[in-house]
Amino acid sequence: MTRILVINGPNLGRLGSREPEIYGSQTLADIEASLRERLADAGELDFRQSDDEATLISWLHEAADTASPVILNPAAFTHYSYALRDACHIVSEAGVPLIEVHLSNPHARESFRHTSVVSGAALGVIAGFGAESYHLALSHIQTLLERQ
């Protein structure tokens, strides 16, 4: 059974209370529960969150080493973390699917959020659909796994 790694970056542990007008009222635990329900017995979900860039990078290295598909919400690291981008590239170069997700649409927000240094290393980007962004990414990863 394939393990799917869901990695969440800085401040996402504050979902539900942090700027609900932008990010919605669901907590990260709510999103995790809905993904687990959707996946059911079709695979293993490994759901993680850290505010620490080095931790996120080590998790991406782990994904590359174990061939675990990744759903990544890099949060604010999206815009400037070249180290995180390079770790994403390692995952992609290993032939492991990595999909970048965002709850909000970065292009509809402040101009500094319009740039993603991570996107070029991802298979695709899903943004602006709230928690559904994660579900869309999971659906595509399931499709890819079925094709193998």
Q: Kindly list the catalytic residues.
A: 23, 102
Q: Which helix (H) or strand (E) holds 54?
A: helix 53-66
**What is d(CA 110, CA 58) in angstroms, rounded to the nearest whole number?**
29
Q: How far apart are CA 144 and CA 148, in angstroms?
A: 7
Beta bridge pairs of residue 72: 7, 100
Q: Which residues of 88-122 are buried (b: 16+ CB within 10 A; e: fewer)?
A: bbbbbeeebbbbbbbbbebeeeeeebeebbbbebb
How many CB atoms are closer than 10 A to CB 41? 6
